[in-house]
Amino acid sequence: MASTLPWDLLHTFLGVLREGSLSGAARALGLTQPTAGRHVAALEALLDQALFTRAPTGLLPTEAALALRGHAEQMEAAAAALQRAATARGDGVCGTVRVTASEVIGVEVLADVFARLRAQHPGLVLELSLSNQLQDLLRREADIAVRMTPPGQSQLIARRIGRVDLGLHARPDYLDRCGRPATPADLRRHALIGFDTLTPFIRAGAKRLGGIGRDGLALRCDSDLAQLALMRAGAGIGFCQVALAWREPRLERVLAGAFGWPLDTWVAMHEDLRHSAPCRVVFDALAEALARHVALGAAAPA
């Protein structure tokens, strides 16, 4: 096997994995289908093993392909980070900065920040990766991360913004129709909104609800943004950031004395980016906007 594997072959390999066919990978990557086929064949020859088997539904990855995937994705993240770093050189604030945040923070808080940054710095290209899964800054899957947990890696520059409080909220007309819970036990008579997949974080939330678990939820969804939309639509009671509850349409907090869930808010980036002008500008803008978000939640009535 060659001592190094050409990146273009691995790039096509990832495309086939994700699309499930040569034609799909070719469209996604801007290649011709024969070129994609040659790339896969060349990579299989270099590795001396098959990476895909044909099936009626397309190409299925072999065990060797699945074992290779994580390493190829690391190379993909590193290549993307290298390209972003290359475009960030030179005078002025220009180049590409990739930010990762949760869905709800990205849509409700960061969209305005990105709009202002683009107006102030037209040469800045911004990528927003929305996920409730923590992306690895050390592997450069993103340049800057907004997190609700303290970063545990010493190679990161991290700034604690403050505490975001979660509380139980519902639309006032839902509460007018179904009643306002006076005790935690009253929640069992309500339509509760929550996550579908159990995680340690969700289990901790269930304990705060007095043991109400997945079976006690009337509406289940793993998207926090969709849960917020359901609350705003008047579908039931769910956990929401206090600061977001006071945006239109406004939500009413219930059982404030019984249920509160403080989450530390952080902005973090890799220490290698401390001298990158675009990363510094974006980092500071995010920190400023999130500080306002935290202050709004602190000022909201209980």
pLDDT tens digits, one per residue of 90-136: 556 888 899 999 999 999 999 999 999 999 999 999 999 888 776 55
Confidence band for 70, pLDDT divided at 50, 70 and 90: confident
Helix (H) or strand (E) holding 278: helix 277-299
**Strand pairing of 95-101 and 237-241?**
unpaired
199: left (phi over 0), alpha (psi -120 to 50) or beta: beta
Please tell me the predicted confidence (pLDDT) of residue 57. Answer: 81
Helix spans in 48-129 (H): 63-87, 103-105, 111-120
pLDDT mean across residues, the chain: 86
What is the C-alpha to C-alpha distance for residues 241 and 259, in angstroms, rounded to an integer? Answer: 12
Q: What percent of the chain has pLDDT over 70?
A: 88
Whole-angstrom Cα distance, residue 35 to residue 41? 10
Domains recognised in the chain with CATH numbers: 7-81 (1.10.10.10), 164-263 (3.40.190.10)
- Residues 289, 113: contact at Cβ < 8 Å? yes
| Average pLDDT estimate for 243-269 | 89
Give the other-Cβ count within 10 Å of 20's Cβ.
16
pLDDT value at residue 87:
63
- Whole-number pLDDT of residue 151: 78
Is the pTM of the predicted complex or chain greater than 0.75? Answer: no
What pLDDT score does 167 carry?
A: 92
Distances (CA, A) of 176 to 91, 151, 212, 232, 234: 58, 42, 23, 14, 11
Band (pLDDT 50/70/90 cuts) for residue 140 is low
For 168-219, how does the pLDDT look when each residue is reduced to its tens digit (9 = 90+)?
999 999 999 999 999 988 999 999 998 888 777 667 766 766 667 778 889 9
| pLDDT for residue 86 is more than 90 | no
45: pLDDT strictly greater than 70: yes
Q: How many residues does the chain have?
A: 302
Instruction: With cut-offs at 50, 70 and 90, classify the pLDDT of residue 276.
Output: confident
DSSP 122: T
